[in-house]
A = this chain, B = another copy of it.
Amino acid sequence: MRLAKAKYPDEKRKLVEDALHRFFPEKDKYPDVIYGAMNHSLFSGGKRFRPVLNLLVAEVFDSDIDKFLPTACAIEYIHTYSLIHDDLPAIDNDDLRRGTPTCHVMFGEDIAILAGDALFAESFYLVASTQNSADSSRIIRVVNELAFAAGVRGMVSGQVVDIQSSRKRVDSETLHFIHSHKTGCLITAAARAGAILAGASSPDLDKVTEFATQLGLAFQITDDILDVVGETDVIGKRIGSDERHKKATFPSIFGLEEAKKKAKVAVDDAIVALGGLEADTKSLIELAKFVYERNY
């Protein structure tokens, strides 16, 4: 079945972009280099996929989404922090990200480590700030979800296994562990945080979780594919970076065509998971289609 060409929710992306500027810590801008480094990495483009997903999910359960913006921005902080640390010479040693030099290339390794740390801290500062007017017990659950996703049971362990697997032949189980932890956990947490803050019921939260898990899988497969077939000026990082790092990817393990099929299955499964929700999930279906269709 040929899907109709999907459109990215640019109005949500704009909401996030404006809020990121509004919430960026302006005060006490001393020492300026660290604010500069945080700013450089936070505002170097990007689709704002995770906060947009967060807002779209929240909107399914509560249309007044302005109050969810602090959490949406916090999620982008966590994502940006993880990119800065991943790019470090001691880890992936990448010099280009979103079309601009990476944080450590611009500001040095010491400042890049600290800029990542600062963005990570700022994410929790923002979620727990008075600017977040959501219900207290829901905010605490969200802090717990985000910390879980970013921590040793989530992103960190994905990154560690990725490092360990570099230059090795890995099996599909290991590939799945890497992707579901390194990328999947935060995408799932972004969706869950939206549902939790907006007061979704426990069964609805389960459906959102399944949707986001499959969406995250599709996102990672298409990311791997773009690294093979994309163009540097479109995806904003050097093509073939996975190949250079000898990273395990879906195309390298399954081949390009089979990887595309797996992305399609994941997107279809994501959409099926939404079927049980009573609410209007058009925007989430559109986002899932977009993930499959982007750039190829």
Contact = CB atoms under 8 A, between A and B. Distances in A.
Interface stretch (A44-52, A139-147, A258-266): A139-147
Interface stretch (A26-34, A59-67, A221-229, A284-292): A26-34
Contacts of A25: 151-153
Interface string A99-131: 000000000111101101110111111011100
A8 interface: no
A54 to B, nearest CB: 17
B90 A122 contact: no
A91 B113 contact: yes
A96 interface: no
Contact of A88 (B27, B113, B125, B137): B113
- Taken together, the copies of this chain in the complex come to 2
A179 to B, nearest CB: 15
B147 A124 contact: yes
A156 interface: yes
B121 A156 contact: yes
Interface string A189-233: 000000000000000000000000000000000000000000000
**Most B-side CB within 10 Å, residue of A111, A128, A136, A159:** A128
A147 B151 CA distance: 15
Given A91-B110, A91-B113, A140-B136, A147 B161 contact: no
Interface string A148-168: 101111101101110110000
A156 B125 contact: no
A152 B38 contact: yes
A287 to B, nearest CB: 27
Contacts of A139: 140
A136 B143 CA distance: 12
Contacts of A154: 121
A247 interface: no
B120 A117 contact: yes
A121 B147 contact: yes
Given A124-B124, A156-B34, A156-B121, A110 B151 contact: no
A117 B34 contact: no
Interface of A: 25, 27-28, 30-31, 33-35, 38, 85, 88, 90-91, 108-111, 113-114, 116-118, 120-125, 127-129, 136-137, 139-141, 143-144, 146-148, 150-154, 156-157, 159-161, 163-164
27 contacts: A25-B151, A25-B152, A25-B153, A28-B157, A31-B161, A34-B152, A38-B152, A90-B108, A113-B113, A114-B159, A116-B117, A117-B120, A117-B150, A117-B156, A118-B151, A121-B152, A122-B147, A122-B151, A124-B124, A124-B143, A125-B147, A128-B141, A136-B136, A136-B137, A136-B140, A139-B140, A143-B143
